[in-house]
Amino acid sequence: MVPQIDEQFVEWLVAPERLDELLAEGWRHFGPVFFRYSSMEWNGALVRVQPLRVVIADTSPSKSQRRVLRRNADLKLSVRPTRIDDERRRLFEAHRRRFTEKAPEALEEYLGGQPSVCPCENVEVGLYQGERLLAASFLDVGRCAVSSVYAIFDPAEGRRSLGTCTMLWEIEHARERGCRHYYPGYAFHESSKLDYKKHFKGVEWYDWQGHWRPLVGDGRAGEVQVG
């Protein structure tokens, strides 16, 4: 039986090795607030939270993901220390209009006031069309793992699948750094719009009892089995 977990703590400075440990135990953070919970309410129903990670050595882009990369081959990739400025706030405002309920209020809610250094190193994986920022994802960097905290993209460019594209580049950045794991956040045991996070080779899920288990099945909504 899955234990009921709902915990949080505040930490302003976390060493890379400690971040690896926290991620491996299902913890995430927004700013200095670290949290983990095994269930939550989603669209009026109680769902079981399923932390995910990708084993870097076991992953490679699928056929559809390679198409996403080709579709965005005209964009320029930039990886730099994360900062929040007017350009990113404008992109965030456009991105947040996609949400019909529980819309986020500010990018700082997720990243805090000094995201590049507090509570750990964080880098922005950005995609540019010329000088225009189309998408940005914000990646925590540990010693042997990285974790995607949040991502924003221009909703007018929906055909590009920019969310998937930045995830693929985050995985590649993790590989270049010699990391073993990439944490894309969580999905649910139940089908939801977060199932796209399951569509990567080498995906594992956390069972809330200290074990990471391979995700069985193809990861598509309604067809996922866990065990």
Residue owning tokens 């045991």:
189
Output the CA torsion sign for 206, 209, 212, 216.
negative
**What is the percent of the chain where pLDDT is above 70?**
93
Count of domains forming the chain: 1
**Amino acid symbol at 103:** A
Task: Check whether 136 has a pLDDT greater than 60.
Answer: yes
Is residue 37 in a domain?
A: yes
Q: What's the pLDDT at 225? A: 33
Encode pLDDT of 163-207 as tens digits: 999 999 999 999 999 999 999 999 999 988 889 999 999 999 999
pLDDT band at 217 (very low <50, low <70, confident <90, very high): low
Residue owning tokens 């309410």:
41
Q: What's the pLDDT at 219? A: 42
For residue 172, the tally of other CB atoms under 10 A from its CB is 17
Q: Find the CATH number of the domain harbouring 133.
A: 3.40.630.30
Is residue 66 in a domain?
A: yes
Is residue 206 in a domain?
A: yes
159 half-sphere exposure, CB direction, 13 A CA radius: 2
What's the token pair of residue 109?
A: 């809610």
Residue pair 58/202 in contact (Cβ under 8 Å)? The answer is: yes
pLDDT band at 224 (very low <50, low <70, confident <90, very high): very low
Whole-number Cα distances in Å, 57 to 29, 47, 175 = 25, 30, 8
Residue pair 83/115 in contact (Cβ under 8 Å)? The answer is: yes
Q: Average pLDDT, stretch 103-111?
A: 86
Q: Average pLDDT, stretch 42-50?
A: 91
Q: Is the peptide bond before 16 cis (omega within 30 degrees of 0)?
A: no
Mean pLDDT for the chain overall:
92
Encode pLDDT of 29-44 as tens digits: 999 999 999 999 988 8
Rounded Cα distance between 86 and 223, Å, is 42
Task: Check whether 100 has a pLDDT greater than 80.
Answer: no
90-94, 99-103, 111-115, 119-123: least confident range: 99-103
What's the token pair of residue 193?
A: 């719009």
**Amino acid symbol at 77:** L
Is residue 1 in a domain?
A: no
Rounded Cα distance between 148 and 193, Å, is 17
Domain around 18: 6-226
Is residue 163 in a domain?
A: yes
Q: What's the pLDDT at 103? A: 65
